[in-house]
Structure formats: C-alpha cells, structure tokens
Amino acid sequence: MSRVTDRHKPDDEDASRLKFPQSFGDEDTQRNMLTISEVKLVLESLDNPPDNAVYNKTKDYVDTFARFYDHETASNVRSSFPNPPFQFFEQVQLVNLCPMEAEEAKALVPSIQVEDDQLQQYLDDMTRARKAQQPPA
C-alpha cells in the first residue's frame, strides 16, 4: 500500500507557470488584479476610511511600497505591458516590483516569455514614467 506524500502529489499552484488556484482561474479575476499603487489610490479615495488595525496596516504597507502616485501614471504604466505578450499576473508583478533589467524581471517573474530586448524597452518606459511623476505631497 502506497502513501501519497507532498512531493508526489500534483502541483495545485505554481505562479512561475501561471498555474493558480481555481479562485484565480477566471480571466475576469485576473484582469482586475490590482497593483500596490492602485490599492493605495483606492484607499486614498475612501470618504470615510475605517479606523482599524487591518486598514491601518494595509495603508502603511501601500504607502511604503507604492511606486506610482497618481491615477493616470498608475494606469498608463500597467497598460504599457500589453496582454499579450504579458499575462495579467505578470503585468501586476512587474509594476509592483519595478525591476530595472530584463534579467532581473525574469528572475522575479519566471513565467515571462518576452525576448530580453523587448522586455527591456518596457522596463525602461516604466522607469522613465516613475522618474517623471511628481513625488507625493
């Protein structure tokens, strides 16, 4: 009698192969994933934000790690990585991580299948947009 162990059971999830749990499987969910910058902008737009530990920790996190500060820049940067060749998950990860080099981007997001030269052009455009924006007040 054999026993199924963790190393012998099929992989349910593997982001490096864009294999996600069923709850992330539909295209609508993937298309509407938010970047950290977009979450920051959503939280800032709330009229009456809650005052609780979860909200405050989330706000601190997005304030620390958001790389784009206005709606236009955040939207333009994300759409600068077209689908295809980039999957929605890859777009979000690239905008969140802001890698400078194609090699770094592929190490951080191994599912990317874009040629290095083309990827580098997208990364350079993102870097220019990041440097051109006005710092937050």
The pLDDT tens digits along the chain (137 residues) read 445 555 544 556 766 676 766 777 677 777 888 999 999 999 999 999 999 999 999 999 999 999 999 889 998 998 899 988 999 999 999 999 999 999 999 999 999 999 999 999 999 999 999 999 877 66
Q: Which domain covers residue 78, as residue numbers?
A: 15-132
The answer for residues whose C-beta is within 8 angstroms of residue 77's C-beta and 6 or more apart is 68, 95, 126, 129, 130
Question: Per the domain annotation, does 54 fall within a domain?
Answer: yes
Question: Per the domain annotation, does 47 fall within a domain?
Answer: yes
- What is the Cα gyration radius of the chain? 18
- Report d(CA 13, CA 102) in Å as an integer: 25
Give the count of domains, the chain: 1
Q: Cα 134 vs. chain centroid, distance in angstroms?
A: 21
pTM of the model: 0.81
pLDDT tens across 20-42, in order? 667 776 777 778 889 999 999 99
Task: Please give the structure tokens belonging to residue 10.
Answer: 């099929």
Question: Per the domain annotation, does 30 fall within a domain?
Answer: yes
Question: Per the domain annotation, does 33 fall within a domain?
Answer: yes
Question: Per the domain annotation, does 8 fall within a domain?
Answer: no
Contact predicate 123/100, CB 8 Å:
yes
- Report d(CA 102, CA 113) in Å as an integer: 11
Question: Per the domain annotation, does 69 fall within a domain?
Answer: yes
* CATH, residue 50: 1.20.1250.40
Task: Please give the structure tokens belonging to residue 2.
Answer: 């054999």
Question: Per the domain annotation, does 61 fall within a domain?
Answer: yes
Contact predicate 102/88, CB 8 Å:
no
Question: Per the domain annotation, does 137 fall within a domain?
Answer: no
pLDDT tens across 42-53, in order? 999 999 999 999
